[in-house]
Amino acid sequence: MHYGYGYFEEDRLKKSGDLKLWRRIMIYVAPRWLEVSGAIILALVITGCSLALPDLIRRAIDDFIVNSQLDSAARLAGVSDLALIFLVLLVTGFAAHFLQVIILEWTGQQIMHRMRQDLFSHMLSLETAFFNRNPVGKLVTRLTNDIQNMHEMFTSVIVTLFNDMVRIAGILVILCLMNWRLALLMMLLIPVIIFNTVLFSRLARLAFREIRTQLARINAFLQEALSGISVIQLFARERDTLRRFGELNESFLQRCFYQIKIFGLFMPMLELLSAVAVALIIWYGGGQIIRERMSMGELVAFLTYMRLFFQPLRDLSQKYSIVQSSLASAERIFQLLDTVGNLPVAAEPKRAAAIRGGIEFDRVTFGYGKAQPVVKELTFRAEPGETVAIVGATGAGKTTIINLLERFYDPDRGRIRLDGIDLQDLAPEDLRQQIGLVMQDVYIFPATFRENIVMDRAISAQRLNEIIAAAQLSGFIRNLPAGLETRIGEGGQDLSAGQRQLLAMARVLSRDSRILVLDEATSSVDTETEMLIEKALAATMANRTSIIIAHRLSTIRRADRIIVMDRGRIVEEGDHEALMAENGVYHRLISLQNGKNGGG
């Protein structure tokens, strides 16, 4: 076995600059400028309050505590006054901080919501081929975890970043005012800090990307193992599955260790630099005091401000992990948003005045990949109101015809027309509006039975009951614990394959489309039920164009015309009697079903 299931190759992302990413993120932030500026103003208030505190302490020391010119009472009173100001600043700082957190959360959530919606609707607009290339698990990760990562950045980083810059600038100004010589000496440390941070950022970014890629692999594996759990158990492949999962997991651990090492090397670096700053203050600042160029209060204030100076830097590196992982997420999100569909949509789609339902395939050739085409030079017509059955061996290209008709894919060569209009000139939603499709695979949403049938339509209770009766579901629904409101799909009531097909039938009946396309719509339904559905369908199909793919003769016979396909080509065409008389492929298929040829 060369590949694990759930395996996928994470695209090697091209190195798009951080700046470009930020610019795109800012496009989302811009509409929220009011909230953001509010948060920034609050940031100024918070910074102001926190920077004023050490200065208050300096004054307390220089003006009162070590000031031998004042008497004790005056010194004590001075300290009390400063303490009161201190208290006011504390409370203001708290209020501003709280308000800021709330505003940031609100803003961040709104932005993320917007982004999630954009991403979701963008994904839904992409063509079917895209979903063949990208496993669902990976796409879900983009919508949930990646967006979540970005949210972390919004609430805890963007304004904090501004916050920190204001704070650092403020500290430098204060230090310069107090003692410019010592302040200049301190600034010598800044290039070292920047170098450290930049180098670290590069390495950390890489490490995070590795971790994320591996995590996505683990998720994809788990996703597929979960959906295939019964197969794994049936064939006793538990141990093997666990082994492969363990390997993925182990490799994830190794990547985590790499990241831990990077962080373990760089994070203490900053603490070391902060200690160097303290040592410089003691040595050089102390010297200044000896030369009486500096007061004791100033020295203490220096020590405090340096601590305040390094605090955001330490925060910065801590928050770096958040920024790193969210930029990686942003990159993937935007990459997905930039993925454009391959199905061109007409700029000015044509609208047929009244759709009559005539379908025409004109020398259509199509293949899913570069591999050989699945349908070749296909030409046929279905007149308005006509019922056409398509028969042929599996793999003959029957379902592909439907994929093309629904415009899930465009033909490589040739044209498909609806009432004479090329499908590519129609708006896809207008086209699909006209087609009621029942697919081989019936998808059930985790929702109620009713929601699964009517979906986004508004249908009267009476009409819904008629539909359910026609789809032979009345008896089944009556026995459900909550009737139509029973939840089905994952986590809800289990449905058999046949019941699911009946549900799909009800779905199509509720759409009332001009064209009916049934792809093996009743293959899992018992014959008796099928007969009843056919009766209901016959009434529905009366004046509609219908295309039916089926194996069962009883279903095929009803068609006005039968198209027999073999390996992507039409080999026979005509009604049942004519084709039987022809004694060709169709005749053989039918005799097999009747068991007349059962000897061989």
Partner 1 sequence: MARKLLLNSAQIRKARKAGRVLMPIFRKYRTRILLGFLALLGVDLLQLLIPRVIKSAIDSLQYAGATGASLLRHGALIVAIAGAIAACRFVWRYLILGFSRMLERDLRNRILEKLVELDRPFFNRRPAGEIMALAGNDLTAVQMACGIGLVSCVDAVMMTGAAIAFMAYIDPKLTLLALAPMPILALLTGLLTALLHKRFSRVQEQFSRLTEFSRSTLGAIRLIKAYNQEVAQTGYFDKMGRDYVKNNLRLAVVQGALFPFSTMIANFSLLLVVYFGGRLTIVGTISIGDFVAFMSYLFLMTWPMMAIGWVTTLFQRGITSLDRINRVLVEEPAVREPAVPLPMPQSNQLLVLRDLTFGHLPAAPPVLNGISLEIKPGFTGVVGKTGAGKTTLCQLLARIYPVADRQYFWEDIDVNRLGLREVRSRIAYVPQDTLLFSDTIEANIAFSRPGAAQQEIEKAARLAAIHDEIISLDKGYQTRVGERGVLLSGGQRQRIALARALLTDRPVIIIDDGLSAVDTDTEHRIIANFREWLPGRTCVMVSHRVAPILEADQIVVLADGGIAARGTHRELLVRNRFYRTIHDHQMSNPGTGD
User: In angstroms, what is the minimal distance from the CB of 179 to partner 1?
Assistant: 15
SS3 216: helix
CA distance 518 to 525: 14
Q: Which is nearer to partner 1, 10 or 406 (CB)?
A: 406
Q: Of 563, 556, 558, whose CA–CA distance to 593 is shortest?
A: 556
- How near is the Cβ of 15 to partner 1 at its closest, in Å? 27
Q: How many residues does the chain have?
A: 600
Give the burial class of 547: count Cβ atoms within 10 A of its Cβ; 0-12 exposed, 13-18 middle, 19 or more buried.
Answer: buried
Question: What is each CA distance from 146 to 14, 112, 237, in whole angstroms?
Answer: 18, 10, 32
- Between residues 57 and 536, which has the closer beta carbon with respect to partner 1? 57
Nearer to partner 1, 411 or 436 (CB): 436
Residue 388 CB, nearest approach to partner 1 (Å)? 17
Select 16 or 307, whichever has its Cβ closest to partner 1: 307
Question: In this structure, what token pair is assigned to residue 129?
Answer: 């081929």
The least CB distance from residue 19 to partner 1, in Å, is 29
Residue 331 CB, nearest approach to partner 1 (Å): 20
Name the residue nearer to partner 1 (CB basis): 24 or 552: 552
With respect to partner 1, which residue has the nearer C-beta, 8 or 22? 8
Amino acid at 473: L
3 Cβ contact list (under 8 Å, min separation 6): none
- Beta bridge pairs of residue 359: 382, 418
Q: Of 17 and 481, which has the nearer Cβ to partner 1?
A: 481
- Please, where are the H alpha helices in 142-295? 147-153, 159-178, 180-187, 189-227, 229-234, 238-280, 286-290
How far is Cα 541 from Cα 309, in angstroms, rounded to an integer? 78
C-beta closer to partner 1: residue 127 or 425? 127
Strands 387-392 and 545-549: parallel
Q: Measured from the CB of residue 301, what is the shortest distance to partner 1 in angstroms?
A: 11
Task: Give the C-alpha distances (Å, rounded to integers) separating 294 from 49, 65, 182.
Answer: 25, 16, 10
Half-sphere exposure of 334 (CA within 13 A, CB side): 21
Residue 361, strand partner residues: 380, 416
Which amino acid is located at 309 in the chain? Answer: F
What gap in Å lies between CA 551 and CA 593, rounded to an integer? 9
Tokens describing residue 130 = 């895209």
Q: Are 130 and 138 in contact (CB under 8 A)?
A: no
CB of 529 to partner 1, least distance (A): 6
- Measured from the CB of residue 538, what is the shortest distance to partner 1 in angstroms? 14
Query: CB–CB of 562/586 below 8 Å?
Result: yes
> Taking the complex as a whole, how short is the minimal distance between the CB of residue 353 and partner 1, in angstroms?
20
Q: Which of 17/475 has CB closer to partner 1?
A: 475
* CB 16 to partner 1: min, Å: 25
Tell me the C-alpha distance between 182 and 303, whole Å. Answer: 11
